[in-house]
Amino acid sequence: MFGEKALELIRELHRSTEGVLPPFNDEGIRQVLEEMRSLYEQNQADVSATVAGEQGLFSGVQLRHASLERDKRCLLAYLYNRLQKIRNMRWEFGSVLPADIKTNMSEQEVQWFTKYNKCLANYMRRLGDSGLDLTQDMQPPK
């Protein structure tokens, strides 16, 4: 069934415990993108055959399009939820992440993290007269 590889990426992230970032699954993402490419090509072929007068191909096109949307949703959710974990770690560990987490981040995630750090630092610097570190005192005072 289509969408199985994409779901495996999601399950892998779902199994990872809080505060742990699993290694970036490059190969899994590549396989899902490969499935999407072949689904799209098959749909292109069916649409051309329909234009040429062949009947009854619509259901296949519909099914493959639903699978394409599903694959896309799983890939984006995989990336998005990894970023959420990384962002939570920024608030927990500070602007320098532990080495074991950093090794599991992709190059693009490191770039994202650098930009996020900069945005957050710029924002905190503008608070109050001399700035305010929002990541301190996360628990309300007594």
Partner 1 sequence: MSLVEIPYTRYSSSSDNYYCIDDIIATCEKIPSKVEQPLFRLGFLDPSTDNTTIQPGTKLELPFWLASSLCTRRRRLVSVDMPKTYKDSFREILKADANVVDLHKIGPYYYSFGSKLLHFDHPEIGDIADSLLQGFISRFRRIMDSSQNAYNEDTTHLTCKLDESERCVFKAGQKGLDDFQRWQTGQTT
Partner 2 sequence: ENLETHLKNVTLRHMPRNLQSIDKDKTAPR
Which residues sit at the interface with partner 1, rule CB under 8 A? 1-3, 7, 10-11, 13-14, 42, 46, 56-57, 59-60, 62-63, 65-67, 69-70, 73-74, 76-77, 80-81, 139-142
Least Å distance, CB 126 to partner 2, is 18
- Rounded Cα–Cα distance for residues 93 and 88 (Å): 9
Binding at 66: pick from partner 2, partner 1, none (beta carbon under 5-8 Å per type): partner 1
- Strands (DSSP E) contained in the chain are none
Quick one: what does residue 11 bind among partner 1, partner 2, none, with the CB cut-off 5 to 8 Å set by partner type?
Answer: partner 1
User: Min. distance of Cβ 15 from partner 1 in angstroms?
Assistant: 10
Of 126 and 142, which has the nearer Cβ to partner 1?
142
**DSSP summary character for residue 17:** P
Q: Which residues bind partner 2 (CB under 8 A)?
A: 29, 33, 36-37, 40, 68-69, 72, 75-76, 79-80, 83, 106, 108-109, 111-112, 115-116, 119
Of the two residues 46 and 109, which places its CB atom closer to partner 2 in the complex?
Answer: 109
User: Which CB sits closer to partner 1, 60 or 104?
Assistant: 60
Size of the chain, expressed as the number of residues it contains? 142
Least Cβ distance, residue 62 to partner 1 (angstroms): 6
Determine the residue type at 108: Q
- Tell me which DSSP letter residue 21 carries: -
Measure CA 141 to chain center.
36
Buried b (16+ CB within 10 A) or exposed e, 69-81: eebeebbeebbee
CA distances from 129 to 47, 85, 96, 138 (A): 63, 31, 25, 21
